[in-house]
Amino acid sequence: MSSTSQKHRNFVAEPMGEKPVTDLAGVGEVLGKRLETAGFDKAYVVLGQFLVLKKDKELFQEWMKETCSANSKQSSDCYECLKDWCDEFL
């Protein structure tokens, strides 16, 4: 991926703290609502799931699709976002 979105850059730029799930790249309002109803209200909860799935892209995307019916671009964005964040801060 040559360029990343501003949202991605913002998220990766700093520790996530208490950021809401909608701050994740690829997660907009709709997906954010769905994730919140599924219990994933904060970005760090999604990060936990991401880590439980051992950063496996395929499985994570599958999970995103399952949980909030994200399309492949959204889930891929979210995956990249979390992965870059982990590379930076984990």
Partner 1 sequence: MADQVDSMSDAELRTKLAEHGFPIMPITASTRKLLVKKLKLVLDNKSKPRNSVDSKVESRRSLARYSSGEESDLDASNAKDKRGGRRSKVGGSMLPPASSKTRHIPVKKDSPVKPDSDKGSESDEEKSPVRIREKVETITTRQIKRTYTNDQDDYETGSDSDVDGDKKTSTPYRSNSRASDHISSTLPTANASTSPPKPSLYTIPSISSTNYSSPILSSSDHLNSIRSRLGLTSTLADRPSVSSYISDYTSNNVDEVESPYLNNFTRRLSSLKSDPPKTSTFLDQDTNNGSTVLPRRSYMTGVTRSADVVDYKSVNDKKFLKNNLVSLALVVLVALFFFCLFFMYLVKKNDIASVVDDQNSLIPICQLNIPGNRPGINCVPREHVSYAKDLLKVIHPELTTRIASYQCGKPGALPYLTEKEIIDIASSRAEMVDVSQCRTDLNNLQVLIVNNPRWGLSVVQLKNLYTKDVEYTPITSVDIVVQQRNKGSVAITLTDPSTPISCLFVNTLYSAGSTFIIVGLISVVILGLQRFYKYYVRYQKKKSEEIYSMVEQIIDIISQETEDSGEPYISVDHVRDTLISPQNREKMASTWDAAVKFIQTNESRVRMEVQSVDGEDCRVWRWISPHGSPKRSAAWQGQAFETQEGSVNNLTVSPTPCLKIRHMFDKNDTNPNLRSVIQDAILEKCGDRCNILHIDIDRASCCVYVKCSTTIDAGVVYRSLHGWWYEGRLITVKYLRLERYMQRFPNSPSTGPFLKPSRRR
Shortest distance, CB of residue 48 to partner 1, whole angstroms? Answer: 9
Rank residues 33 and 38 by Cβ distance to partner 1 and give the closer one: 38
Rank residues 33 and 53 by Cβ distance to partner 1 and give the closer one: 53
Shortest distance, CB of residue 11 to partner 1, whole angstroms? Answer: 12
Distance CA 75, CA 26 (A): 6
Q: Give me 68's structure tokens.
A: 């909030």
Question: How many alpha carbons lie under 13 Å from residue 50 in its C-beta half-sphere?
Answer: 24
Select from 59, 61, 51 the least CA-distant residue to 90.
51
Rank residues 54 and 73 by Cβ distance to partner 1 and give the closer one: 54
Contact 35, 67 (CB under 8 A): yes
Shortest distance, CB of residue 30 to partner 1, whole angstroms? Answer: 19
E strands, the chain, are none
Which residues would be at the binding site for partner 1 (CB under 8 A)?
A: 6, 10, 13, 49, 52-54, 56, 59, 62-63, 66-67
Shortest distance, CB of residue 5 to partner 1, whole angstroms? Answer: 10
